[in-house]
Amino acid sequence: MVVEKACWPLKERQWLNFVVQEMLMDQINTLKVIDMGIDTHQEPVVYMRSDCHICRSEGFTANSRVMLRYGENSVIATLNVVDEQVLSSGSAGLSKSAMQRLDVDDGAAVSVDHAPVVTSLAAVRKKIFGHKLSDQEITAIVEDIGDHRYSDIEIASFLSVCAGSRLDVDEIISLTQAMVACGKRLNWPDEAMVLDKHCIGGLPGNRTTPLVVSIVSAVGLTIPKTSSRAITSPAGTADTMEALTTVNLELNEIQRVVAETHACLVWGGAVNLSPADDLLIRIERALDLDGEGQLIASVLSKKIAAGSTHAVIDIPVGPTAKVRSQKDAERLSSLFTQVGAACGIQIRCLITDGSQPVGLGIGPVEEARDVLAVLQCEENAPQDLRERALFLAAHLFSLAYQERYEQGLERAIAILDEGKAWQQFQRILAAQGGMKALPDASYQHTEAATAAGTLTAIDNRQLARLAKLAGAPATAAAGLRLHTCVGDKITVGQPLFTLCSDTIGEQQYAMDFYRQSTIFMIEKER
């Protein structure tokens, strides 16, 4: 016998109505997933038809932020509105990152709703109007960025205002600590001292890290190096090391490698040591921006998360380097030291010559060739790269052994010249999965000088751009190799550099830029 709903008690009828309404709302707010196959990098994007009933009912327009749910998973996505012929009725297209974060398959049903209000954006607006941010406000911003609640535009706003109006030392400390708190951390309970080094960048080819790590760890000192990929350069340490071995290691694998060798040379982004920073770096790369406060917080958060207790920071200064003046370098050095002390890590900053590139190779593979040449003490190895690495290693020895710099330098030279650093580098590569063969670029073009004289300067920024236009670092073999250095006498027809690229189109594009620029300054003889 069927019992009529009207005969049910009032409380049961109210409950049933509620359940039915919820089921109807689930159906109304549900769309079938279509994998669009579009790479939007780390920003989740949803594509919906302009006549979609959800868009019309909820008032969603292009660039609206919407909440997508599938089972227990949810993600805030940016809405892109498409023409009716692009998607079938009742469907929603998802970008690759949205598909991955929801862990959803093509054809499944996802619910769509308004995104929750991101209250920390009020703090970003506060900073735009020139006000200082509190610890709590900066923590909220970093947590929301790390949880993917910010769109790329909102992240860009935060980065831009921090670079333009500068963070003070208290804000940088808060930003550093918030970045550390939102990620994982490496711990080395058996080590009283854990060393690290970093160069703030701006010098093409300055690939000292693999050399310093090999020299320092060869005597048993612990230096677990987690590095970033390139932000504004043709190669980062992780890009160069990836041309030689595996750098995407899990936390337990990193701990194994360090236990075996006292060191590692890995990509920090693979283990979420500072996930919010990785999201910020992605936008910095697009903006070609590296603000002072964000730079310090980025560097130190990675060092602290890696468990480092002592670190050397290389700050190159030059007219076309990232830091242009001695005054700016001293300010940066002071901030690094203050923020490091507040966060429990001892920092020694070294202000160095940044007037020209370091080494001869620019780009992941070409820089790897220089590293191998120095480690193997080859006759044609770039001496400036060797000397810079020895200088930094000597300062780390000075910190570790409380000895004079000169003693540390003697120790570093002996380790390199006796082949111990090369042996140690091979051990590290073997522990990380073995050494790869370096590939050659498909297209190589050697450019010759058209004027005679003395090479007086090389523009670091334009040289880096030339290598990037050739395809570096996305294509590991792309970049360039220099055939001359500042101070050399140049003759007409003498090779200046060899450009390496994967396609003829990239080669032509890069060479068009070169012909319109002034990268090599040659002072003609009188």
* Positions marked catalytic: 290
**How does strand 65-70 pair with strand 109-114?**
antiparallel
Number of C-beta neighbours around residue 56 at 10 A:
11
Contact present, 326 and 352 (Cβ < 8 Å)? no
In order, the DSSP letters of 360-396 are SEESHHHHHHHHHHHHTT-TTS-HHHHHHHHHHHHHH
Rounded (5°) CA angle 362-368-369:
90
- Written as one letter, the residue type at 89 is S
3-state secondary structure of 157: helix
Place of tokens 């700050």: 315
Going from the C-alpha of 361 to that of each of 44, 376, 381, 388, 395, the distances in angstroms are 36, 16, 11, 15, 25
* Closest listed residue to residue 95, CA positions, set 80, 112, 74, 113: 80
Strand partners, 227: 267
E-assigned strand segments in 183-299: 195-199, 223-227, 263-267
E strand or H helix at 278: helix 275-287
Torsion-angle region of 434 (φ positive above 0: left; ψ -120 to 50: alpha; else: beta): left
* Closest listed residue to residue 49, CA positions, set 98, 91, 110: 91
- Written as one letter, the residue type at 520 is F
Rounded CA separation 515/526 (Å)? 25
Provide CB contacts within 8 A for 317, sequence distance 6+: 323, 324, 325, 326, 328, 329, 351, 352, 353, 354
Rounded CA separation 154/191 (Å)? 41
| 326, two tokens | 């001695």
Rounded CA separation 267/247 (Å)? 5
Strand partners, 480: 362, 499
Rounded CA separation 115/46 (Å)? 13
Rounded CA separation 346/312 (Å)? 9
Residue 134, judged by CB atoms within 10 A of its CB (0-12, 13-18, 19+), counts as: middle
Whether the upstream peptide bond of residue 357 has omega within 30° of 0, thus cis, is no
* Closest listed residue to residue 264, CA positions, set 377, 433, 413, 414: 433
